[in-house]
Structure 1
Amino acid sequence: MRLIPDVLRALTSPGLTDGDPLPSGSRARHAPLPALGDLYHREAPRLLRYFARRADRQDVNDLVQESFTLLARAAAGPDQSIERPEAYLNRIAANLLRSRAKSALQRSLARHVPAEDALLVAPDAVTALEARDTLNRLQAALMRLSPKTRAIFLAHRLEGLSYNEIATTMALSVKGVEWHMSKALTHLNRALGSR
């Protein structure tokens, strides 16, 4: 709330008492803030639309709440009155968005790494060729397994089935599934170990 300088002097002068009237040109005499509930019902839908166009959806209700909280705090001070609460709410809303944008920019700048400081690694052609070679040898080794052993190995390793589930599905004992898995692992280790 802005006061005219001579009104400010009159308020702080020692000759002024509580019952004395203020000067006629004073802007300090404002209508009291209408009931906050009435103001909320009138202005909240407009503020919701305002924030919905300018902020993330999950933040809209919080921003409206914070706007009214700040308005209530401003009006709660001793001898405080707000002449046009709707305009005051508009200013609060704009300031909240500006403040959030500044905070987001500061967080972004704090995480920023200059390109010259970043470690950029190009794909390694040799590593890619070695990986492709390993995959080809693994696939060839899998194809050399018997169909039943291969099916049991893939059911356990790719599909994530337990030995009990595989035994039930393939009409085997758990020991039989363990034997096929051991056979597959030994064969694949031998095939991948010999380069």
Structure 2
Amino acid sequence: MSAPTATESPLSQLYRQHHAWLLGWLRRRLGQPEPAADLAQDTFLRLLRPGVALPAELRAPRAYLSTIAHGLLVNHWQRQDLEAAYLQALAAQPPALHPSAEEQAQTLELLLAVQRMLDGLAERPRRAFLLARLDGLGYAEIATELGVSERMVKNYMAQAMLHCLRLRGDTSP
């Protein structure tokens, strides 16, 4: 590690000193160099976002960077899983019903946005919401699927709707 220059920003110094290490850390977890390089760059880009301040004295820079990178890694894996599930569902459809590549990309982005919205929701309300909205099941069918009462399904749906409204900023807790 070389000494920082007088005009070097803390972020530049952090990048210079730890980028190679972070790239190796991500490569070991992914087993692929290209997505690892993208995620390493995204990690440092996160530090450039408005409202994100690099701590004045960073005692454990690698722990700090790996925490940010781990979140990005989880998002990467979730995206891969969702994309694989979407492509599997698409493959089950007759080719004549396949949407265009542009429509597929838009659908995948929409699915990812829905997934992000539902991330903070408990498992059962999330499942109830998805069964109602994606599978078109009624409350009685959802109750049977989840092994709960219809009244509980109504509670789950209310929780899911409130969660979505809070994320949009339409209501306070």
TM-score range, shorter chain: 0.3 to 0.5
The structure with more helix, counted as a fraction of residues: 2
State the TM-score, normalizing by the size of structure 2: 0.40
State the TM-score, normalizing by the size of structure 1: 0.36
Query: Looking at both structures, which has the greater relative contact order when contacts are Cα pairs under 8 Å and sequence separation is at least 6?
Result: 1
